[in-house]
Amino acid sequence: MTAFPIERTAIVTGAVSARGIGRATASYLAAKGWNIGIIDLDDAACRIAAKELGAEYGVKAHGVGANVASEAEVRSAIDELEAELPQLVALANVAGVSSPVPYLELEATEWDRVLNINLNGVHYATRRVAESMVRNRIGRIVNISSVSAQRGGGTFSKTPYSVAKAGVIGLTRATARELGEFDITVNAISPGPIDTDIMGGTLSEERKDELTKDLVVNRVGSTRDIAAAIAFLISEDAGYISGQTLNVDGGLYMH
């Protein structure tokens, strides 16, 4: 087992939105001493977010704008982050989009948009960081799937979202199998209802109460719930966990 370097970096995609899982994750990891690389669509917003994280938590942080649906942009962004930050040890693939379009109204452009961001984007980032992690023989990758993948929808987002997030689980398992010999773990987190804008805007108390009826806990999830799970799975202590999908969903989906 390769030990973590003292100075280590985690890249988080989709980490600019103030109410999103990505930003919560970047903050949570920075508070634990991780140096942070941010990738999101808006380059200026990425750099501002990184500056704020660095100032608040005293870590090294750098942000780069990239569309995760473009492999060339993702590779270039990660090249820059690696040049600016300590050794890359972890990747959290959080960037994603929702898609509430009913199947019978679904057009090809919407299908492609959702698959390109929510599945291809995870592959592009994973493929690039794997090169560095294999060279260093250490790495932790965590992908965000969704309970929607396991239940076949039944959430705010519908078919292409469920398909993409199911693909993320398949990608997680296959890459875990191939990268394991290099001391790289790959896991997925499957959130249930989380109070973020991807649920269609800020959840009203009425909507929260309605969602909670399907859970075995008495509240809707928070972005911190997901951030804490990511922090565990990328920790040095989680090296014997790989190829798994951890449901952080208040008990919504139980096998």
- Listing DSSP states for 109-160 in one string gives HHHHHHHIIIIIHHHHHHHHHHHHHHHHT-EEEEEE--HHHHHTS-SSS-HH
9-248 folds as: Rossmann fold (3.40.50)
User: What are the catalytic residues?
Assistant: 161
DSSP 8-state code for residue 60: -
Angle between helices 21-31 and 43-57 (to 10 degrees): 30
**pLDDT per position as a tens digit, 115-150:** 999 999 999 999 999 999 999 999 999 999 999 999
Q: Is residue 10 a contact partner of residue 37, using CB atoms and an 8 Å limit?
A: yes
- Listing DSSP states for 18-40 in one string gives TTSHHHHHHHHHHHTT-EEEEEE
pTM higher than 0.75: yes
Burial of 16 (0-12, 13-18, 19+ CB in 10 A): buried
Which residue from 198, 237, 219 is spatially nearest to 24, judged by alpha carbons? 198
Whole-number Å distance between alpha carbons of 116 and 104: 20
Q: What are the residue boundaries of the structural domains of the chain, listed by start?
A: 9-248
Question: H helices within the chain, ranges in order?
Answer: 21-31, 43-57, 71-84, 108-115, 121-136, 147-151, 159-179, 205-212, 223-233
Instruction: Return the pLDDT at 201.
Output: 61
**pLDDT per position as a tens digit, 152-186:** 988 889 999 999 999 999 999 999 999 999 999 99
**pLDDT per position as a tens digit, 57-99:** 999 999 999 999 999 999 999 999 999 999 999 999 999 999 9
DSSP bridge partners of 61: 36
